[in-house]
Structure 1
Amino acid sequence: MADTITFRLDEDTARALEVLTQDGISISMAVRSALIDAARRQAKTSLRAEAEALAADEQDRAEAMQVLRDMETLRA
């Protein structure tokens, strides 16, 4: 069963909601879609930041290179 959420619209939010519903989509669907999109963007941003931090970690990069060298010796 779905929960009901109530919130107050400010001017910016009301304008954004108008844009999201101008094609006839329901307010509920527009809000659900916007929340899902925002969560996906946040997850991508977090993953990108984590990847950048790992790429900048010299010790981690050195260990990864060593593993690759070790794996290469096993191929022969």
Structure 2
Amino acid sequence: MGMLTVEIDASTERILAELTSGGRSPDDVVREAIRIAGRLRWMEQARADAERLAADPDDLAEIRAIQREFGDADAW
């Protein structure tokens, strides 16, 4: 396990005080914040990938070909 030292500003200190007021430790709050930041980064990357794929002419052509082959999906 690593050790991390962070300098925080007054605004962040107030938020940390709120998050620890129920008895949670600052360590727990920071660990959760890092995990949330990781999930947000993953979701942003997935969104960017989806936008890139949605604009890819080859992928769009393949989707149209599949739609032609299988017909109207709303009919099911």
**TM-score bucket of the superposed structures, by smaller chain:** 0.7 to 0.9
**Match status 1:56 vs 2:55:** yes
* Consecutive unaligned residues in structure 2, runs of 5 or more: 72-76
Number of matched pairs:
71
Q: Deviations over 1:13-47 (max 9, x none)?
A: 21221122121100000000011011101110110
TM norm structure 2: 0.76
Matches within 5 A, 1:29-48: 29-48=28-47
Matched residues in 1 for 2:40 and 2:21: separation? 23
Letter in 1 for 2:5: T
Q: Secondary structure at the match of 1:15?
A: helix
Q: Secondary structure at the match of 1:5?
A: coil
* Consecutive unaligned residues in structure 1, runs of 5 or more: none
Structure 1 runs of 4+ aligned residues shifted over 6 Å read: none
Matched residues in 2 for 1:70 and 1:44: separation? 32
Q: CA RMSD in A?
A: 2.0
